[in-house]
Amino acid sequence: MAAGLLVACAQKPLPPSVPALLAQVLPTPVLLLGEQHDASEHQALQRDVVLALAQRGQLQALVMEMAEQGRSTQGLPRDADEARVREALGWTDQSGWPWPVYGPVVMAAVRQGVPVFGGNLPRARMRDAMRDATLDGRVADRVLRQQQDGIRDSHCGLLPETQIAPMTRIQLARDQAMAQTVVQALAPGKTVVLVAGNGHVRRDLGVPLHLPPGQDYRVVMAQAGDNAVAGQPNDAVWRTPPLPARDHCAELRQSMPAR
Q: What is the pLDDT of residue 15?
A: 60
Domains in the chain: boundaries: 29-255
Q: 6: number of CA atoms within 13 Å, CB side?
A: 10
Residues 244, 249, 252, 253, Cα dihedral to 10°: -130
Residue 61 — φ and ψ, nearest 5°?
Answer: -165, 155
| Cα end-to-end distance, the chain, whole Å | 45
Please tell me the distance from the alpha carbon of residue 79 to that of residue 140, in angstroms, as a whole number. 45
CATH of span 29-255: 3.40.50
Q: If DSSP codes are grouped into helix, strand and coil, which group holds residue 158?
A: coil
pLDDT per residue of the chain (259 residues) written in tens, 0 to 9: 444 444 334 444 456 799 999 999 999 999 999 999 999 999 999 999 999 999 999 999 999 999 999 999 999 999 999 999 999 999 999 889 999 999 999 999 999 999 999 999 999 999 999 999 999 999 999 999 999 999 999 888 888 999 999 999 999 999 999 999 999 999 999 999 999 999 999 999 999 999 999 999 999 999 988 766 666 889 999 999 888 887 778 877 777 654 4
